[in-house]
Structure 1
Amino acid sequence: MSTTTRTAVVTGAARGIGAGVARRLAADGFAVAVIDLDEAACKPVVQEIGAAGGRALAVGADVSDEQSVQAAVERIAAELGEPTVLVNNAGIIRDNLLFRMTPGEWDAVMNVHLRGSFLMTRAVQGYMTTAGWGRIVNLSSTSALGNRGQANYAAAKAGIQGFTKTLAIELGKFGVTANAIAPGFIETEMTAETARRIGIGFEEFKAAAAAEIPVARTGKPADIAHAASFFASEGAGFVSGQVLYVAGGPKS
Structure 2
Amino acid sequence: KVVLITGANHGIGAATAKALATQNSSVFVTYHRDVCRYSEGELQEAKEAGTGGDVLYRAMQQQSTDSLVRYIHDQGGTAVAHEADLANADNIPLLFDLCEEKLGSVDILVNNHTCCVLETFDPALTSDEGSGIHLPTAATIDAHFATNARAYALMMSEYLKRHLQRECEWSRIINVSTDAAHAHLANISYAASKHAIESYSRSAAAEMGKYGITVNIVAPGTDTDRLHYT
Question: Same fold by TM-score, threshold 0.5 exceeded?
Answer: yes
Match 2:77 to one of 32, 54, 63: 54
Q: C-alpha distance in 2, partners of 1:107/1:84?
A: 30
Q: Which residue of 2 aligns with 1:119?
A: 154
Partners of 1:109 and 1:153 within 8 A in 2 = yes
Q: Between 123-132 and 8-17, report the one with greater CA deviation.
A: 123-132
How many Å separate the matches in 1 of 2:63 and 2:98? 16
Flag the structure with higher helix content: 1
Query: Equivalent residues in 2 for 1:222-241 (5 A)?
Result: none
Check conservation: 1:94, 1:106, Cα contact below 8 A.
Answer: no
Give distance in 1, aligned partners of 2:90 and 2:191. Answer: 27
| 1:30 partnered with 2:53 | no
> Matched residue of 1:59: which SS?
strand
Gaps of 5+ in 1: 1-5, 190-219, 223-252
- After superposition, residues 62-211 of structure 1 pair within 5 angstroms as 62-98=85-121, 100-129=135-164, 130-185=167-222, 186-189=224-227
Q: Secondary structure at the match of 1:83?
A: coil
The equivalent of 2:2 in structure 1 is 7
Partner amino acid for 2:103? L
Measure how far apart 1:40 and its partner are: 8.0
Q: CA RMSD in A?
A: 2.0
2:174–2:217 contact (8 Å) kept in structure 1: yes
Question: After superposition, what is the alpha-carbon deviation per residue over 1:111-133, rounded to whole angstroms, capped at 9, x for unaligned?
Answer: 11101111221222233342111
TM-score normalised by L of structure 1: 0.70
Q: Deviations over 1:209-237 (max 9, x none)?
A: xxxxxxxxxxx769xxxxxxxxxxxxxxx
Q: Percent identity?
A: 28
Which structure's relative contact order is higher, taking Cα pairs within 8 Å and 6+ residues apart? 2
Question: SS in structure 2 opposite 1:19?
Answer: helix
Provide the C-alpha distance between the structure 1 equivalents of 2:136 and 2:105, rounded to a whole number of angstroms. 40
Map Cα deviations across residues 38-57 of structure 1 (whole Å, 9 max, x no partner).
59812221111111111111
Deviation at residue 69 of structure 1 after TM alignment:
1.4
Runs of 4+ in structure 1 deviating by more than 6 angstroms, as ranges, are: none
CA distance in structure 2 between the aligned counterparts of 1:93 and 1:78, rounded to whole angstroms = 31
> What amino acid sits opposite 1:187 in the alignment?
D
Number of equivalenced pairs: 187
1:13 is matched by which residue type in structure 2? A
Q: Residues 5-36 of structure 1: CA distance to partner in whole angstroms, max 9, x if unpaired?
A: x2000000011110001111111111100101
Say if 1:142 and 1:184, in contact at 8 Å, map to a contact too: yes
